[in-house]
Amino acid sequence: MQQRPVIGIPTQNLKSIDRIPEDLPDSWVMNQRYFLACVSVGAIPWMVPLLDEDPDTLRGIYDRLDGLFIAGGVDVDPSSYGEERHELCGRVDLPRDRVELAMVRWAIEDGKPVFGVCRGMQVINVAAGGTLVQDCSLWTDAIKHDYFPGAGWDRDYLAHDIRVAETSRLASAFGEAGGMVNSMHHQGILRLGEGLVATAWAPDGLVEAVEAAREDQWMVGVQWHPEMLIDTHPGTKRLFEDFIEAANQYHNASALV
């Protein structure tokens, strides 16, 4: 029987989310769609608490994981990439930033598989030393990227097409022709992090996907939300399956050490 890899999914602080009553107790939460998507391709998802002030416990959790899934959410704080906060930057969650950046950096060092979506792609980029544009309106000739559900858009609304790089992991799953994706973000990559390559772009040139330059590291970040498309788009399901297979291989290789 094939091993079911354990995939860690860091949580977020409930009070970092907009329109949450302040009198609720401090809580760690995360959208269940990410967990269900991982389960659907054979993984065991694991909620990771934001123990940013307990690095020993956090590292102990990390060491028991076969892969990392970095989900969407609020903005990455600009202090995480050495910039001043722009007035268009939104809500942030510093403990989440610290936990996700630490885990991604450990994974880069160890070669552990990482899949990041939306904010998750941006976290990968910042962990690798890159920077972000704090609002897509600041991007030259920007198209609309912020099709947020709160403004009346469905989460699976296909907002724009992407151009995919040949010979990339994304092209292996999606095909080199690219396709249409949903879009629920207002920030994006400005300067690409070290050891990353861009593998997809929006019509305005904004990076829509990144991958590790190393062939022996499965690390993919996408700017859209594939967890909403896994049931209807074969290429998306193949991408998730590829991630889980990489996590399986990592587990098996680690067991031999």
Catalytic residue among 118, 136, 160, 251: 118
Place of tokens 């590829």: 242
Catalytic residue among 185, 227, 233, 251: 227
186 is catalytic: no
Amino acid at 85: R
Q: Which two tokens stand for residue 213?
A: 């330059």
- Asked if residue 122 lies in contact with residue 189, where contact means CB atoms within 8 angstroms, the answer is yes
Q: Look at phi and psi of residue 64 and say left if phi exceeds 0, alpha if psi is from -120 to 50, else beta.
A: alpha
Which residue from 93, 41, 42, 40 is spatially nearest to 71, judged by alpha carbons? 93
Element (H, E) at 108: helix 94-110
**In the chain, count of helices (H) and strands (E)?**
6, 13
118 is catalytic: yes
> DSSP secondary structure string, 7-47?
EEEE-EEGGGSTT--TTSPP-EE--HHHHHHHHHTT-EEEE
Residues labelled catalytic: 118, 225, 227
